[in-house]
Structure 1
Amino acid sequence: MTVELGVIEGFYGPMWSWAERGRLMTSLAAHGYSFYLYAPKADSYLRRRWQEPHPADQTAELESFARLCRREGVRFGVGLSPFEIFNRFDDAARETLTAKLRMLDRAGIQELAILFDDMRSEVPELARTQAEIVRWIRDNTKATTISMCPTYYSDDPVLDRVFGERPADYLETLGAELPKDVRVFWTGEEVCSREISPGHLKRVGDRLGRKPVLWDNYPVNDGDRMSRHLHLRAFTGRPANNAAHLAGHAINPALQPALTAIPALTLAESYRQGPNYQYGQALHHAARELLGVDLANQLQTDLLVLQDAGLERISDEKRQALIHTYDAFDHPAANEILRWLAGDYQVTDEMVQTQ
């Protein structure tokens, strides 16, 4: 059983280059990934400064990437987070939003995702207000696919602690008010779900009145704690029969684009293999295909250190040995490991609070 696979670049932290983004997209397209949503939290013109136009050079890069995606047969979209617009969706907000939508239309997007995640609101009838905004956007964009991320995108109680208690019947109201062709993201029972089951997805789909699109927060490693670890292992806890209850499965990638491709390939393999999937073998095959035999073997040798121990538990002596080892490889993935060892990918609490 298969499901539409994609990427939603939705992490906090440092931005990728467009070349890095393009290499990942083309690599995954060859393995069945069919959509790519550009939504990094660090692009402030899609989030806290959404009312301002993108600079001309960034708009040109978006247009170029959209063309590249079309050539690869990948649906390109943008995740727009009109920050806390639901607190005041008036004529002025509509006028500003119209200008942003026109720019995105010119860039050639095929999908527009409206992301209400990680925002606080005291608005009564939050679900109805958000559905109204999505309906208005749907009627004012040329994008042919519309998706949205709710404020409460998981059962995880951490969302209630941080953003306030979720309204009663939030998902049911959202599902009833949204047009049936609008796709809705969901991360599972937790923000970063260790396991996602068919039973859980069926329950969520019943509440929404549609199959959700899984926003899978693996292999993402943003945040102060997670950015100290590389997420390299193969996917587990996502049985292939989840496909019957999903409209799509999007991964939120790690901060390291070349290394992200390793677990990403194993997810595609898990859906192809179904009950015959073996996560250890999948990691072995994906690493060799992407890195070559020598670098793949080295990475698997160091897996416990890179993924489990993390930067805080690596001694200075071990760090220097790893630098010496990976400096010998001429490969983007090895360079990412070196940058990680140097602390270049560290995400601070301030980044998360301000992006």
Structure 2
Amino acid sequence: MVSPLKTPEGAPVDLGLIEGFYGRPWTWEERAETIGFLARHGYGFYWYAPKADAFLRRRWREPWPAETAAAVKGLAARCAANGVRFGVGLSPFEIYRAFDDAAKADLASKLAELDAVGVWDLAILFDDMRGDLPDLAASQIEIVHWAAEHSHARRILFCPTYYSDDPVLDRAFGNRPEGYLEALGVGLDPAIEVFWTGEEVCSRAYGRASLARVAEALRRPPVIWDNYPVNDGPVMGQSLHLRAVTGRPAAMASVTRAHAVNPASQTVLSRIPALSLARSYRLGEAYDYGAAFDSAALEVLGADLAAQLRANLSQFQDTGLDRLGAETKAKLRERYAAFDHPGAREVVAWLDGAWQISRAEIEAS
């Protein structure tokens, strides 16, 4: 089993990964390798929810192709072998517009499919959907409770449509209903856990006061859906998010239920900030993000590649792909192509634009 992660004060930390980004998903081999790697550093769960899996989103009413179902079942087994809880994020697209008998029958079939592959943790996700609808909270509560009653999952989680204070959600999906979080807090079974990304969709920091306010509204500590180091989309895809985490103090553990990291598109490079987050929880006030990067990069990449990445850190994370210029990109590409390491190959692929995704592709997911 995974060694329990604790803060310096001894508070337990439920830390894991949620693969919830847009664009090209990880391969099954990459997922399995990452599960094993992060389990050694205190990551206790892995939740499969890539936006590219249409059978969990727009085509959720259809069963997975047989090969996908077999691969998911194999991933669940890999998690079990590493002492990691396996979960799936299901986004039944706008089912709350008509939760009728047909919808219930389709949802029951999907839940049975998830039970069959070995899902321990079930997340019902209503993010990135229209929300300015009458009785939104009540409709979503009914669906989540129904799913909980018809699933064998041991843990049920729920992502609200308005999962952050960020006004960008209101601009994209309509103005949030007044008292939405409070209505969820009153109506949801206390055993159901609720996701929250923070004061922003991609929060730069988490404050104890802000999290306590959300916990009071929800009547339960939130599960943090941490959108760092995720780098999907036409804007964030311009950067490699490599720096060690900041603004994620160990004190978060006392006002949250769990902490789920949404990783970057680059599997190996994601492990650097992921390791730094575990270090931040373990060290508390003694955490040094510069030293955390050096330690994690050394473990993930080896000494030579880690030193090279540190030298180019600002270019990759701050300057951005399109602003590097053709000559600089060519030189960087040559430099990293000389390394025989999957992390270096991810840098080269990013320089080549391998993960670029348009707004139209995101909206169609």
TM-score normalised according to structure 2 size: 0.96
Q: Deviations over 1:304-344 (max 9, x none)?
A: 11111111111211111111111111111111101101100
Q: Say which SS state the counterpart of residue 225 (structure 1) adopts.
A: helix
For the residue of structure 2 that corresponds to 1:62, the secondary structure is helix
Structure 2 Cα separation of the partners of residues 175 and 339 of structure 1: 44
CA distance in structure 1 between the partners assigned to 2:131 and 2:212 by the alignment: 28
> How many angstroms apart in 1 are the aligned matches of 2:66 and 2:133?
35
Which of the residues 246, 256, 275 maps onto 2:266? 256
**Cα drift, residue 123 of structure 1:** 3.2
Deviates more, 1:2-11 or 1:200-209: 2-11
C-alpha contact 1:145 1:182 (8 A) present in aligned 2:
yes
Aligned length: 355
Gaps of 5+ in 2: 1-6
Find 1:116's aligned residue among 121, 126, 134. Answer: 126
Q: 2:97 is matched with which residue?
A: 87
Hey, what's the Cα distance between the residues in 2 that align with 1:155 and 1:139? 30
Q: Which letter maps to 1:240?
A: A
State the SS of the aligned residue for 1:103: helix
Q: Residues 99-110 of structure 1: matches in 2 within 5 Å?
A: 99-110=109-120
Which of 234, 246, 249 is the matching residue for 1:224? 234
Kindly provide the amino acid, as one letter, of the partner of residue 255 in structure 1: S
**Match in the other structure for 1:193:** 203
Would you say 1:143 and 2:157 are equivalent positions?
Answer: no
Q: State the shift of 1:31 in Å.
A: 0.3
Q: 2:327 aligns with which of 303, 317, 336?
A: 317
Residue number in structure 2 paired with 1:28: 38
Cα separation, 2, equivalents of 1:338 and 1:308: 17
CA contact (8 A) 2:165 2:198 kept: yes
- From 240, 248, 251, give the equivalent of 1:238: 248
Q: Percent identity?
A: 55
Which secondary structure does the structure 1 equivalent of 2:230 belong to?
Answer: coil
User: CA offset at residue 95 of structure 1?
Assistant: 0.3
- Give 2:4's aligned residue: none
For 1:66-103, what per-residue CA distance to the aligned partner results, in whole angstroms no more than 9, with x for missing partners?
00000001000000000000000000000011111111
- How many angstroms apart in 2 are the aligned matches of 1:62 and 1:264? 23
Tell me, in whole angstroms, the C-alpha distance in 2 between the residues paired with 1:311 and 1:302.
12
**CA distance in 2 between partners of 1:353 and 1:125 (Å):** 25
Q: Please name the residue that 1:277 is paired with.
A: 287
Match of 1:152 among 162, 168, 176: 162
Q: Amino acid of the residue matched to residue 138 of structure 1?
A: A
Q: Which runs of 5+ in 1 are unaligned?
A: none
Contact 1:113/1:148, CA 8 A, preserved across alignment? yes
The separation in 1 between residues aligned to 2:324 and 2:31, in whole angstroms, is: 29
Pick from 71, 80, 89 the counterpart of residue 81 of structure 2. 71
Contact 1:156 1:189 in 2 (8 A): yes
Mapped to 1, the partners of 2:185 and 2:128 lie a distance apart of 20
